[in-house]
Amino acid sequence: MLVANLKAELETEVWDCLHNVTDPELDEPVTDMGFIERIEVKDAKSVKVEFRLPTYWCSPNFAFLMAFGIRREVTSLPWVIEAEVQLNDHCFGDKVNEGVNSGRAYHDIFAEYCDGAKLDEVVEKFLAKAFDRRQETVLLGLQALGHRPSEIVTMTLAELQQVTFNGEEELRQLPRYLDLLAVQGLATEPDDLAFTTWEGHEIAVADLSDHLTRLRSTRINMEFNGALCRGLAKTRYKEVEIGPDGPQLIDFIAGHVPPREEAAATD
């Protein structure tokens, strides 16, 4: 039996690692989106994570990708020996849960349940959108700081890393953009260009405006879907019931328990 303090500490560690799992369509952490419903740590080695999406019919592709992501991050914690992921209240929930917890290769599971779709192709599609959104934020931030188009398209990775941004969104997206550059091998050396297309092509000065227009279109679409998902999730998560033993740590983190002053006002 875990003591309460250790249990809370381990559950917080699990919560923190889940920030690395994003909704593939929105490029936002599942923790920020309010999708994580319950985290249970048993015996300092076994973890169960329950999550729920905004609607009963959310895309199975997204559900699988998030479930696999949750399991990947949880099992990366050095103290975790066993991990179970459970998707609640979803039309594809049984298949997702069986697939992600079966121990089979997730590429095979995904193809079996998603009409033969290849997981790598789906991941690539959404990574490209995430790249566009992150890059646009950084580009607009540079323009706001007074950088000319000719300076931007020739900026190196080292030069970008020396820029001091002021905006909250730029500060949030810059490290995420740099991570994608490294993961995709688009910019790994100090002298590499900091800004290319997703395919690795250079951006000409004359093309920067059109490039930004395309990025803006991607961002608007993602923001619209994000606003819709947050609204649906907020409405749906009002149904979450606190267990018989009272609120757990995850209930406070996820906002299932109203602030004391708000609760008092409704009494």
Q: Whole-angstrom distance between the N-terminal and C-terminal Cα of the chain?
A: 36
CB 17 within 8 A of CB 36: no
Alpha-helical (H) ranges within 114-207 are 119-144, 149-153, 157-161, 168-184
pLDDT in the model for residue 73: 97
Ranges 104-108, 209-213, 219-223, 260-264: which has the least confidence: 260-264
Structure tokens at 63: 């559900």
pLDDT in the model for residue 252: 52
Helix axes 106-113, 119-144, angle to 10 degrees: 100
Return mean pLDDT, the chain: 85
H/E segment holding residue 189: none
pLDDT: which is higher, 135 or 112 = 135
pLDDT in the model for residue 260: 42
Tell which residue, 72, 66, 41, has the closest CA to residue 54.
66
Per-residue pLDDT of 38-97, as tens digits, reads: 999 988 899 999 999 988 888 888 888 999 999 999 999 999 999 999 999 998 899 899
Tell me the Ramachandran region of residue 210: left when phi exceeds 0, alpha when psi lies from -120 to 50, beta otherwise.
alpha
Backbone angles phi, psi at 53, to 5 degrees: -95, 165
C-alpha–C-alpha distance, residues 74 and 82, integer Å: 9
- Residue written as tokens 């757990």? 248
Alpha carbon separation from 31 to 231, 240, 244 (Å, rounded): 15, 16, 24
